[in-house]
Structure 1
Amino acid sequence: MQQTGREPMTAAGKKRVLSGITATGRLHIGNYIGAINQWADNQSEYENFLFVADLHALTIPEAVAGKNLRARVEEIFALYLACGIDPEQSTLFVQSDVAEHAELTWLLTCVTPVSWLERMTQFKTKGKVADVDAGVGAGLLCYPALQAADILLYDPDLVPVGEDQKQHVEITRDISQRFNAMYGETFKLPDVMIPKSGGRIMGLDDPTAKMSKSTAEKSPGHAIGLLDPIGQARKSIMRAVTDSKSGVDFSDELAPGVTNLLTIFECFTGTTRDESRERFDGAGYGVLKGAVADAVTERLGDIQRRYHDIADDRTHLNKLLTQGAERARNLAADKLSQAYRAAGLR
């Protein structure tokens, strides 16, 4: 990938990381394994800017219509904290609390060819679900410009995404290069950061489909929410799809559902596939599911206790929301001013 040649704007020589989760649906263990837990693990290694993407939630308004979106946003924010994100080490904020995201989006929208937007997988798949002919909003088409603004405001070095989401960062790089070519060098081109493991946790009811917040709202057995009752979480795991065999057989190709359960177990226990082979080869699926359920529910219990402590202290939570927005805004405002000057608006 081509680089701009500019030095990273980081603290204490750390590379800067930017990431967020859209506030549609409630967080589940796929979000935890693939993103939040890894953010917590690397926050001493990187300079993290982590946000709750509430503006992105509006790209499909029917997904949030009639719901208290702000309450869900604050729930996710509190869960970030409960999962181990330290607001003293990481800049943690809500997207709409930093107006520069919306402002820069317009500048980037104006330099982004429509053909680039139409080729995006997100528009093709969600557009079909929402039924474009029925009048889906233009936000669904233009969301890559908002996503690019999210990233480019902070000059990050790395953007963590799953293998299936690399296209999101690639179009941000394309938009950045086009803006720079038109108005002069303004934005740094970020690189993709692929999680080492667990980046793609599959549905418990359909292990060929990625675990999804939207699907979880329609199919209770699809995912395990971070705030699900412990008994419900255990039941969902014990009912997870495997295959027609009676147990785990490492001498043959493992079924997608079995592989998914092993991945979840390994991510929650910090063990390797070789250790799983030694423990579960020849074991019945009930044994495997019971071990996964024990590991998951133990972690969920810890997260939920911390979450309720955080959510119940409204004064402290509001202080952290304000503090995070101010820290993010300090950096975003400088970059937005630079972009305005480059475009001849100041």
Structure 2
Amino acid sequence: MIRLSAITPSGPVQLGNYLGAIRQWAAEGTAEDVYFISDLHAMTTSHNPARLRSLTREQLAVLIAAGVDPRSVCVQSDLVRELGALTWVLECTCTYGEAARMIQFKEKSAGRDSVRLSLLTYPVLMAADILLQGANEVPVGDDQAQHVELARVLARRFNGTYGEVFAMPRSVVPQTAARVRDLADPTRKMAKTAPDSAGTVFVLDPPDLVRRKVKRAVTDDLGVVRHDPAGQPGVSNLLEVLAACTRKEPADLADSLPDYAALKDAVADAVVEELRGVRERTRALLDDPAELDRVRAHGAERARERAGHRLDAALRMSGLG
């Protein structure tokens, strides 16, 4: 069974990405799984080319530094020729109505006079990502489940029209290890692209900056350390971060912390220690571009080998070549 997951270089990797997904990929992923940096997806809105390239390399380094099997990691654009060819075939299989019904397209284009065409078509590119690698399962949140369903529709239509080529993928609920909220605004998820980075801890933040951000985290005026996400979202968020880092239960941790100062000290220490090795290994990889390039090239080659026969079959059976 092949699982496929991706991370988009829209910003630096943050604590929620690491605790919620990357750490789990490293612990539970296999060499058959596919983990890729979706730099093509980052182009659906205005972007800076140099920053996109830099963030892509940084995310690749973080995944390897975190322990994700290098054989299962690749950068999406390294397969741009294969993906471009299959995306075109799938666009010729998809209808405009199916693409336009995607909820994300509706939300992101609402009230705007002009949006990039790629915002409409990128779910077809996502289908190509999935089908090219023969993925059986795609762990996604609710906001992406519709895109996986489109991949299923296109795979079924292609197979029924031209012959069996593609596996039928299915979306699965990701086994998220932690749901980290913004430290400055616990009503929203911690995000790479938050308008204010004060509440976002990035994996490459130095320890003193991590501590400052945690010390400034929003709590409340109740003065009681208790895991109550509805009544005390800020305090509960800190407890959940601490629980994720220490592999303990939030409620159990609350009993051992007398006040908010002690809670923040414990969280800061735990986060700094959790990220220390990943940060150091990532920096070492970024300082050794030849090694990072070697890992990247090897991952791309393996992804091409895994996908080549599938692409060749799709092109041949649809009348190309």
Return the TM-score normalized by structure 2.
0.91
1:7 aligned partner:
none
Q: SS at the partner of 1:172?
A: helix
Q: Is the 8 A contact 1:34 1:199 kept in 2?
A: yes
2:35 aligned partner:
50
1:296 aligned partner:
271
Residues 58-105 of structure 1 show CA distances to partners (whole Å, capped at 9, x for unaligned) of: 111x2x225342222111111111111131xx4211111112122211
2:189 aligned partner:
210
Q: Is the 8 A contact 1:198 1:264 kept in 2?
A: no
- The residue type equivalent to 1:323 in the other structure is H
Tell me the CA shift for residue 124 of structure 1. Answer: 2.8
- The residue type equivalent to 1:189 in the other structure is M
Q: Is the 8 A contact 1:226 1:304 kept in 2?
A: yes
* Gap change, CA 1:288 and 1:254, over 3 Å in 2: farther
Match of 2:240 among 241, 263, 266: 263
Consecutive unaligned residues of structure 2, counting only runs of 5 or more, are none
CA distance in 1, matches of 2:153, 2:226: 46
Tell me the CA shift for residue 154 of structure 1. Answer: 1.1
CA distance in 1, matches of 2:229, 2:108: 36
Q: Is the 8 A contact 2:227 2:250 kept in 1?
A: no
Q: Percent identity?
A: 41
Tell me the CA shift for residue 144 of structure 1. Answer: 0.3
CA distance in 1, matches of 2:72, 2:147: 22
Q: Is the 8 A contact 1:25 1:214 kept in 2?
A: yes
CA distance in 2, matches of 1:17, 1:55: 20
CA distance in 1, matches of 2:193, 2:296: 26
1:190 aligns with 2:176: no
Consecutive unaligned residues of structure 1, counting only runs of 5 or more, are 1-14
Q: Is the 8 A contact 2:8 2:38 kept in 1?
A: yes
1:94 aligned partner:
75
1:327 aligned partner:
302
1:151 aligns with 2:130: yes
1:316 aligns with 2:316: no
Q: SS at the partner of 1:51?
A: strand
Q: SS at the partner of 1:179?
A: helix
CA distance in 1, matches of 2:201, 2:41: 23
CA distance in 2, matches of 1:251, 1:305: 35
1:241 aligns with 2:227: no
- The residue type equivalent to 2:29 in the other structure is Q
Residues 37-62 of structure 1 show CA distances to partners (whole Å, capped at 9, x for unaligned) of: 11001124x622111111111111x2
CA distance in 2, matches of 1:198, 1:91: 20
1:115 aligns with 2:97: yes
Q: SS at the partner of 1:132?
A: coil
CA distance in 2, matches of 1:274, 1:249: 7
Q: SS at the partner of 2:199?
A: coil
1:27 aligned partner:
13
Tell me the CA shift for residue 251 of structure 1. Answer: 7.7
Q: Is the 8 A contact 1:162 1:199 kept in 2?
A: no
Q: Is the 8 A contact 2:35 2:73 kept in 1?
A: yes
CA distance in 1, matches of 2:166, 2:178: 28
1:10 aligned partner:
none
1:40 aligns with 2:26: yes
CA distance in 1, matches of 2:229, 2:304: 53
Tell me the CA shift for residue 220 of structure 1. Answer: 1.7
Match of 2:52 among 53, 69, 81: 69
1:227 aligns with 2:204: yes
CA distance in 2, matches of 1:150, 1:163: 19
Q: Is the 8 A contact 2:83 2:132 kept in 1?
A: yes
* Gap change, CA 1:239 and 1:279, over 3 Å in 2: same
CA distance in 2, matches of 1:322, 1:173: 30
Residues 133-182 of structure 1 show CA distances to partners (whole Å, capped at 9, x for unaligned) of: 1x221001111001111111111222122354333322222222232233
Structure 1 vs Structure 2 CA RMSD? 2.1
Paired positions, count = 320
